[in-house]
Amino acid sequence: MAQGSGIEWTESTWNPVTGCTKISPGCKHCYAERMARRLQAMGQANYAGGFELRVQPHMLELPLGWKKPQTIFVNSMSDLFHDGVPVSYIRKVFDVMARAHWHRFQVLTKRGARVAELSGRLQWAPNIWMGVSVESDAYTGRIDDLRSTRASTKFLSLEPLLGPLPNLDLSGIDWVIVGGESGHKARPMDPEWVVDLRDQCRRARVPFFFKQWGGKNKKAAGRTLEGRTWDQMPRPRSDSAVAPRTSRRVVAFG
Q: What is the band of 4 on the pLDDT scale with cuts at 50, 70, 90?
A: confident
CB–CB of 78/93 below 8 Å?
no
pLDDT of 71 strictly over 60: yes
The reported pLDDT for the residue numbered 155 is 98
Q: What is the pTM of this model?
A: 0.92
Q: What is the band of 235 on the pLDDT scale with cuts at 50, 70, 90?
A: confident
pLDDT in tens, 178-189: 999 999 899 999
The reported pLDDT for the residue numbered 5 is 83
Q: Is residue 224 packed enough to be buried (19+ CB in 10 Å), middle (13-18) or exposed (0-12)?
A: exposed
Please give the average per-residue pLDDT across 117-128, as a whole number. 98
pLDDT of 224 strictly over 70: yes
Please give the average per-residue pLDDT across 24-29, as a whole number. 97
Q: Which amino acid is at 144?
A: D
Q: How far apart are CA 69 and CA 254, in angstroms?
A: 26
The reported pLDDT for the residue numbered 138 is 98
The reported pLDDT for the residue numbered 1 is 47
- Would strands 17-18 and 54-55 be described as parallel, antiparallel, or unpaired? antiparallel
The residues, any chain, with a CB within 8 Å of residue 164's CB and separated by 6 or more, are 137, 190, 192, 193, 196
pLDDT of 37 strictly over 90: yes
